[in-house]
Amino acid sequence: MQDYYIVDDGKTQLLKFKKLEEFKDKVELAFSLKTYNNGFKYEIKDDVHEDVRLTKFNNISKSLNIDKRKIILPKQEHTDNIRIIKEKDIIVSKINCTQKDNKDNLDNIDSNLVTNLFYQLRDVDGLITNVKGAILATTFSDCTPLFFYDPIMNVIGNIHSGWVGTTKKIGQKAVDILVNQMDCNPKNILCFIGPHIRKDHFLVNDDVKNIFENTFLDICKKYNIIEETNLINEKGKQYRIDTTLINKIMIEERGILEKNIFDCNLCTVCNKDMFHSRRAEGIDYEVNTGIMYLK
């Protein structure tokens, strides 16, 4: 049975998880598809793309009926840094909004505000909150999206776990924060895994393979994580790595129940018509957005 469905309103196509239907009055989680041109380039050092980014958020925020000014978008850098978004972060956005309300061009108010939040959250690859209306956004193109929701404590987490983040165990760190700082019981936490590059397409050379082997010694012994292939590229022999399985095992090690992990089972490379993919698109790749918030 498919864990996800896709909503198409003529402005965006958004992937949602069936499990969250039962909590639809409390939480929203949506992952954007590349259709309707809703991706954008993620070039953190290039302001030129700010406008592109913000135009793209217009459609997503209209489809979800949310205030674009409350979107909290970190500057992701493949770290394992996770920020807890508090009420004061939302107040900051309100102040920024009021200051700029005097300006004539309303469109610019939104743009400037999102830009401010974007640059405030440097080197952050995960967001956690229990504040209603804090709209947590992260972007992906092949990296693994891990979304968490505890319906008892009403806490959410939106985590970017690329292969580097996976080796830094950012998923485990997210669960640790949910449990130790947000008072969640791991048995209540639901985890949703969005579209990302899967084992068949995640080909790496010795350098990356060795990092995984050394980081996940025990997991590699027990499970079929690393698979040798007959493929060779300019850097030598290639291996396939199952980052999906590593992420699942890591969060289960922290007490998340297998039955509470909902994986859309979609590969971004296999489904490059639906999602942006760095591997499939090359250097001009664009990104998909994962948005999560409490209502």
Give the footprint of Zn ion on this chain (CB under 5 A).
198, 200-201, 267, 269-270
For residue 280, the minimal CB distance to Zn ion (Å) is: 9
Q: Which residues face 288 on adjacent strands?
A: 140
Residues in the chain: 295
For residue 143, the minimal CB distance to Zn ion (Å) is: 14
For residue 201, the minimal CB distance to Zn ion (Å) is: 4
Q: Are 84 and 129 in contact (CB under 8 A)?
A: yes
Cβ within 8 Å of residue 133, ≥6 positions away: 70, 90, 293, 294
Residue 198 or residue 240: which is nearer to Zn ion going by CB? 198
For residue 130, the minimal CB distance to Zn ion (Å) is: 35
Residue 14 or residue 267: which is nearer to Zn ion going by CB? 267
Residue 200 or residue 228: which is nearer to Zn ion going by CB? 200
CA separation for the pair 276, 145 (Å, rounded): 13
Residue nearest Zn ion (C-beta atom):
267
For residue 286, the minimal CB distance to Zn ion (Å) is: 18
Q: Which of 53, 50, 49 is nearest to 38 (CA)?
A: 53
Cβ within 8 Å of residue 248, ≥6 positions away: 193, 258, 261, 263
Integer CA distances (angstroms), 20 to 16, 65, 161, 204, 259, in order: 8, 18, 21, 35, 14
Q: Tell me the three state secondary structure of residue 272.
A: coil
Residue 49 or residue 201: which is nearer to Zn ion going by CB? 201
Residue 153 or residue 270: which is nearer to Zn ion going by CB? 270
Q: Tell me the three state secondary structure of residue 242.
A: coil
Residue 203 or residue 269: which is nearer to Zn ion going by CB? 269
Residue 260 CA from chain centroid, whole number: 18
